Amino acid sequence: VFSIGFIVSLSIIGIRQIGGLETFELLAFDQMLRLQVKPSENINEHIVIVGIDEEDIRTQKEWPLPDSIITKTLKTLNTQKPVAIGLDLFRDLSKDPDYEELIQELQKNNVVSICKVSGTEASGISPPVGIAPQQLGFADIMVDPGGIVRRGLIFSQPPVISPCQAQLSLAFQLAQKYLEQRNLTPELTENQELKWNNTLFKRLSLNAGGYHNIDNRGYQILLNYNLIENPPRYLS
């Protein structure tokens, strides 16, 4: 009985080492996240998401939405004096006559715009014209098989030929602007891992958790989604 148990254990360890259990382990991780669902009263009231849905597109009768609408939205948001605004929309090119006014809004210190770093399957997308590096974040994400996003990319080193030279993600830029108001700044530990106050963002290794020999270039972390039971409808 001992020999059989020993052989079975070795077999499982061997299969895991070559990545044979990766799919099952990641699915188990997903299920554990779902079990962490929080009641809706725990929503972070410091964050507001302004979305664009099908109803908005039908109302405007065009897509992408014109620059004038984006400009008006940014101006409305700024009346509430937010610490940071992230525009998760590409605005690299525009023939819209209101484009220059939009750029003026995007150049305000509390606004962060996006671009997309070049990859093996895409040539990348340039940032809006005239946006300073400290107001720019990349929109690239790490997608696992099955189209599931479990990893977050914080830092990246773009290829020289990329039209997007942002080294920090949109999420990191927004978090940094928000936490700076509370005198909290990020630092690197002796192991070159990101630390914010007492929180350490553990960099993913090649075989972290259920992963096996993943592409861990850049600074990647495992995401812990803040799942909400019966979430409210976001502003649109």
Q: At 234, is the pLDDT very low, low, confident or very high (cuts 50, 70, 90)?
A: very low
Query: What pTM was computed for the model?
Result: 0.82
pLDDT tens-digit map of 85-104: 999 999 988 777 889 999 99
Residues 6 or more apart whose Cβ sits within 8 Å of residue 60: 66, 69
CA distance 131 to 77: 19
**What is the pLDDT, as a whole number, of residue 82?**
94
Tell me the backbone φ, ψ of residue 56, rounded to 5 degrees.
Answer: -65, -45
